[in-house]
Amino acid sequence: MKCPFCENPDTRVIDSRHTEDGHAIRRRRVCDTCKKRFTTYEKVEEMILMVVKKDGSREAFDRNKILNGIVRACEKRPVPMAEIEKVVEEIERGLNNMMEKEVESKFIGELIMEQLQALDEVAYVRFASVYRQFTDVSTFVAEVEKLLVSKKHNSGENKNE
């Protein structure tokens, strides 16, 4: 690491420790020439994930959009904010683990729906009504019926285990 004071290329690490959040390593260094000390941080380089929208346009992934959508769907529901944060974290981690540079917004929407279905059924239907752009009551009823069939199917599987 080059010294920021004298630009000498030879510096030594004299102390290393993790940052409080554990996502980086803080290193104290000393320059072999000027003897000045400085701090560097080492962290994993994160890849920028681009979201391909329905109209074909692209924008950088924004975890806050997922958070806001889920918060809106869970409004006035008995869902703790900690659970919502956990869901958002899980979705974000899953997307990053895919190691893809681009992902379709439709895929992200389906991940959110999957998580919401397990978290709160009313929030799931609320999100689905906006995400799937329900145009009439019959579309809404069809989604609720799918939810009921899925619930019945899953409870039947648990009895057989």
Q: Where are the domains of the chain?
A: 11-43, 50-160
- How far is 159 from 161, CA to CA, in rounded Å? 6
Supply the pLDDT for residue 157. 52
Tokens 């145009």, residue? Answer: 135
The share of the chain scoring above pLDDT 90, in percent, equals 63
Does residue 24 contact residue 46 with C-beta atoms inside 8 Å?
no
158 pLDDT more than 60: no
Number of Cβ within 10 Å of residue 123's Cβ equals: 22
pLDDT tens-digit profile of 48-107? Answer: 899 999 999 999 999 999 999 999 999 999 999 999 999 999 999 899 888 899 999 999
E strands, 34-88, in order: 37-43, 50-52, 58-60
Q: Residue 72 is encoded by which pair of tokens? A: 């809106």
Q: Residue 139 is encoded by which pair of tokens? A: 């579309």
